[in-house]
Structure 1
């Protein structure tokens, strides 16, 4: 994910904890039981977790950003995440065990003697494989669900219950309470809000806001971001308009005809997986149905990393970089 190319920028997003800085040890909560609201329901944790297992890069880095690597027993993520030693949380990646280069399984969790699983729907939790919070509860292992991924009840699989940055702040606040690092979480959130506000102040306004299509993957039909996925507010705060804002879902599939109809001024590519960003770019530029789309005609395509575009402490840095790019993009042309 070429993280080493923008590690310095990421450091700015986490100045409240510092890059490689030593932070105070989490204090023990006054009460061993903590009740949080997670995905719209009250969940009580009987003790402060000491062996947390996480799934995927964004979720793992939420723990690292809060200085909670000492509370972790391991993480799972694919090996397409690039050089993780170039990120601000190098010490966390060096310290915590990489359990699996696939999604978490019950075996991973049991082998790690986990006392909390922090994952999300489609970020580890999945009905088809039987790896769900309910299944873990039967094993005596509590869970915390990434708020970006909460099911919203509109369809069986649609996700998202609040604006994406609110989801990020909700999770940081909850984790701060659970692990007794409320001040650290509040400082981190305040730093993120300030950085985002600085970008917003420079962003185009009104009809000058360029429209943006987020392209994740897919040739027959594109996988993209609705209004509950992190790119929605990354685009909005950077000064753009997500052309798929009307989709009451997070990450979802649409038809190419809807992209053509909405004629985005620019396209953001999500860089991850077996298909490289350059391969995705070549496809978009050569795909005949898109030839009259403004972003394709003018070759206005920006690449951001997967970890920038899912809920993670990298979101403010992504907003800053996209904001700088969008200030060069004319709207409607």
Structure 2
């Protein structure tokens, strides 16, 4: 998850298997360094209206088989990056994301990863945690800003360093800058939708892309990685399969608006205000709308704005379906749902007990179709 509302989520993430980088380039945390490691765990399976969406890529999908021509030069956040060949020694930085490492796995290029620092506590994809844990971490540890320090990255001698956000190359956070890496002959890459995240003077077009991102940003990442690593054919398969799965989802039979609330209770520790970590903004809207619903909080311009959602606003909201987000091993979705429904018994979702669960598929990454399908299945139970 590479969302700039990390000030809200960071306290929870400290006890998870990934951790936070600050929204800005100013380090302000005093936590001790954390070793990059995690324990695999299966996601909760006791809740209703969940589905095991098929995430395999069918051989029947047809698309172009273009090959990358090297040297390849791309524009990444306004920076020209040239690849003489497909990278073979990749370091993936943390950034509280799994979008990048899961995209590498989806494209079948995880063998190009020299060291990975991304991990999550649960997954919507069977076997994903085990696949991520099988990737070397290069002995990397996270510094007090929950990123891989400059010296460790340089010592690994990668040919490419990938960060989910521009802040992953912040000197103020003790990290190797893109210029420092270039001087050492190392390329760097930021996930395109997050170019504006973590810098003080982003380009207007990068700000617009970050603030208006939808699940299409997940496909953009896959497409560009496919180009860089000469796996465009595989990227086309993954993207087209996801699009087909999303297109096959049936709209709700009711014909009316079904209001869906996505919340990650563990990320807010269900504080005394009774407000779980509510997700809103264009990306979340796009997931819910693709499932046939509307966001219970549809008018937020960016994800950051949803940090202002109060207990009073939740009490006044129309919620037909509750989506419980999980991110840590051992979280109890049924207990979370019961707790939230007890706080807001006026919701139609509370009266009908309608909820489902998601993990990482509800934000940037290659598996958004799973979250969309699960939400659609929950909506379908309403008749």
Same fold (TM over 0.5): yes
Contact 1:4 1:86 in 2 (8 A): no
Deviates most, 98-107 or 295-304: 98-107
Q: Is 1:276 the counterpart of 2:319 in the alignment?
A: no
Distance 1:122 1:173 in 2: 19
Distance 1:255 1:183 in 2: 43
Q: Is 1:14 the counterpart of 2:14 in the alignment?
A: no
> Which residue does the alignment assign to 1:81?
121
Distance 1:99 1:228 in 2: 37
Say which of 261, 271, 275 aligns to 2:316.
Answer: 261
Say which of 284, 287, 291 aligns to 1:238.
Answer: 291
> Which residue does the alignment assign to 2:37?
none
Secondary structure of the 2:88 match is coil
Relative distance call for 1:273 and 1:4 in structure 2 (3 A) is closer
Gap regions ≥5 residues in structure 1? 19-25
Distance 2:303 2:139 in 1: 27
> Which residue does the alignment assign to 2:372?
319
Deviations 1:50-72 (A, max 9, x none): 21122342220101111111211
Distance 2:58 2:241 in 1: 6
RMSD: 3.8
Contact 1:224 1:254 in 2 (8 A): no
Secondary structure of the 1:81 match is coil
State the shift of 1:32 in Å. Answer: 2.1
For residues 14-163 of structure 1, what are the structure 2 equivalents within 5 Å?
14-16=56-58, 29-36=68-75, 38-39=76-77, 41=78, 43-47=80-84, 48-54=86-92, 55=94, 56-78=97-119, 81-82=121-122, 86-87=126-127, 93-97=133-137, 99=139, 103-105=146-148, 106-121=150-165, 129-131=173-175, 134=178, 137=181, 140=184, 141-151=186-196, 160-163=210-213
State the shift of 1:124 in Å. Answer: 5.5
Contact 2:43 2:123 in 1 (8 A): yes
Deviates most, 161-170 or 113-122: 113-122
Contact 2:55 2:125 in 1 (8 A): no
Deviates most, 307-316 or 160-169: 160-169
Q: Which structure has greater helix proportion?
A: 1
Distance 1:291 1:117 in 2: 48
Gap regions ≥5 residues in structure 2? 1-40
Secondary structure of the 2:357 match is strand
> Which residue does the alignment assign to 1:286?
342
Secondary structure of the 1:13 match is coil
Say which of 294, 300, 304 aligns to 2:358.
Answer: 304
Secondary structure of the 1:253 match is helix
Deviations 1:181-212 (A, max 9, x none): 1121112111111111001xx12278523111
Distance 1:213 1:132 in 2: 39
Distance 2:290 2:211 in 1: 19
Contact 1:49 1:179 in 2 (8 A): yes
Secondary structure of the 2:210 match is coil
Q: Which has the higher contact order (CA 8 A, sep 6+)?
A: 2
The alignment of Structure 1 onto Structure 2 pairs a total of residues equal to 311
> Which residue does the alignment assign to 1:247?
300
Deviations 1:73-99 (A, max 9, x none): 121135x52489942685564344475
Distance 2:256 2:137 in 1: 47
Contact 2:261 2:297 in 1 (8 A): yes
Task: Give the TM-score, by structure 1 length.
Answer: 0.76
Relative distance call for 1:185 and 1:83 in structure 2 (3 A) is closer
> Which residue does the alignment assign to 1:21?
none
> Which residue does the alignment assign to 1:22?
none
